[in-house]
Structure 1
Amino acid sequence: MKTLALFRHAKSDWTDARARDFDRPLNERGQRGALAMGGYIRDSGHRFDRMIASPAVRVAETIETASKAWGRTFAVEWDRRIYLASSATLMDLLRDLEGDPKAVLMVGHNPGLEDLIFDLVPDDGSSPLRDVVEQKFPTATFAVMELAIDSWADIDDRCARLVELKRPRDLDPALGPELPA
């Protein structure tokens, strides 16, 4: 059995139209969301053997801010392949993990993270949280899957069960989507 946690970067800033997508920082709501989710992850008791992440600025800032709430820093393996990756690319990256860690935290982007959940978790009612992901996998969302595999090399479609899903708005409604006036 393996554990894969996914953490989508927090809300980014779109005010500078000249900034490359890769270089967009977090906005103020994103900072608050990353801090809240960092506290939640700390309090949930999850432990990870490895953290792999996209090197995009908004991901790095999400990890940095969440780490303040965790009360510690983590060794992050930055992997450019995660930036805007498809589910297939993310699965290939996981298959190639060295050392065969038991629990991995991947920090990255949509639609890749969401699509990875759809590919790994069967749509058969065994993971009711999958339906929530179908509605939306917003920024700063944290999801945990248990994979029925002995080695990361064995990862394949429909091998997981989604056992936990937490969105920032579940912790603080002010961190949810902005409502129309």
Structure 2
Amino acid sequence: MSAVIFLRHAKSDWYAGISNDLERPLNKRGRRSAAAVGSLLAETGHVPNLVLCSPATRARQTVEIAIAAGDWTCPTETVDELYYGTVDDMVTLACKRLVPLLMIVGHEPTMSSTLEYLTGAELRMPTGALARISLNPDNSGLLEWLFPPRLLTDR
């Protein structure tokens, strides 16, 4: 059985003077949260084998900071469907990658909707939240854990 860690990008900077949503960067709190994610996953032995990331600047920065903070060596791929796509796109990405632990970094409302589709549970993914799902062969899943960003940065 494989697993997927879903990470909603960390908090973005709405006041950065960027009018294009795709290019909006992280704010200071978001950078701190992304670093906490990277450290936590490294410390607990949950470093992904592969990261699939939205092309949005805030998502890519979240991944870059997490990788640096946790000293991960996994490859990353930018995937347009994680910005523009649907729940079906995200489920397909999660279920077709044959790695023991995949990380998907994306956006709302697709993150919460995908988790609900896979697990049947109504979950909310605030910015910077982290959830791990064990995938079954039938593309259903079991929620193993969900960390809101506050728990990550307060430790």
For residues 34 and 18 of structure 1, the distance between their equivalents in structure 2, rounded to whole angstroms, comes to 21
For residues 75 and 8 of structure 1, the distance between their equivalents in structure 2, rounded to whole angstroms, comes to 18
Contact 1:38 1:65 in 2 (8 A): yes
Question: What amino acid maps onto 2:117 in structure 1?
Answer: D
Question: What amino acid maps onto 1:105 in structure 2?
Answer: M
- Alpha-carbon RMSD: 2.0
Partner of 2:146: 165
Contact 1:50 1:101 in 2 (8 A): yes
Partner of 1:58: 58
Distance 1:47-1:31 versus aligned 2 partners, 3 A rule: closer
For residues 18 and 31 of structure 2, the distance between their equivalents in structure 1, rounded to whole angstroms, comes to 21
Report percent identity of matched pairs: 31
Partner of 1:176: none
Question: What amino acid maps onto 1:148 in structure 2?
Answer: N
For residues 88 and 25 of structure 2, the distance between their equivalents in structure 1, rounded to whole angstroms, comes to 27
Distance 1:147-1:25 versus aligned 2 partners, 3 A rule: same
Partner of 2:78: 78
Write out aligned runs for 1:75-154 (5 A): 75-97=75-97, 100-123=98-121, 133=123, 136-149=124-137, 154=138
- Residue 96 of structure 1 and its aligned partner are, at CA, apart by 4.2
Counterpart secondary structure, 1:83 = helix
Could you list the per-position Cα deviations for residues 138-157 of structure 1 after superposition, in whole angstroms to 9, with x for gaps in the alignment?
A: 111111011121xxxx52xx
For residues 16 and 103 of structure 1, the distance between their equivalents in structure 2, rounded to whole angstroms, comes to 34
Distance 1:23-1:165 versus aligned 2 partners, 3 A rule: same
Distance 1:9-1:18 versus aligned 2 partners, 3 A rule: closer
Structure 1 unaligned blocks of 5 or more: 124-129, 174-181
Structure 2 unaligned blocks of 5 or more: none
For residues 148 and 96 of structure 1, the distance between their equivalents in structure 2, rounded to whole angstroms, comes to 12
Question: What amino acid maps onto 2:104 in structure 1?
Answer: M
- Work out which of the two has the higher radius of gyration on C-alpha atoms and give 1 or 2: 1
Contact 2:48 2:74 in 1 (8 A): no
Q: TM (normalized to structure 1)?
A: 0.77
For residues 171 and 102 of structure 1, the distance between their equivalents in structure 2, rounded to whole angstroms, comes to 23
Q: TM (normalized to structure 2)?
A: 0.89
Tell me the matched-pair count. Answer: 155
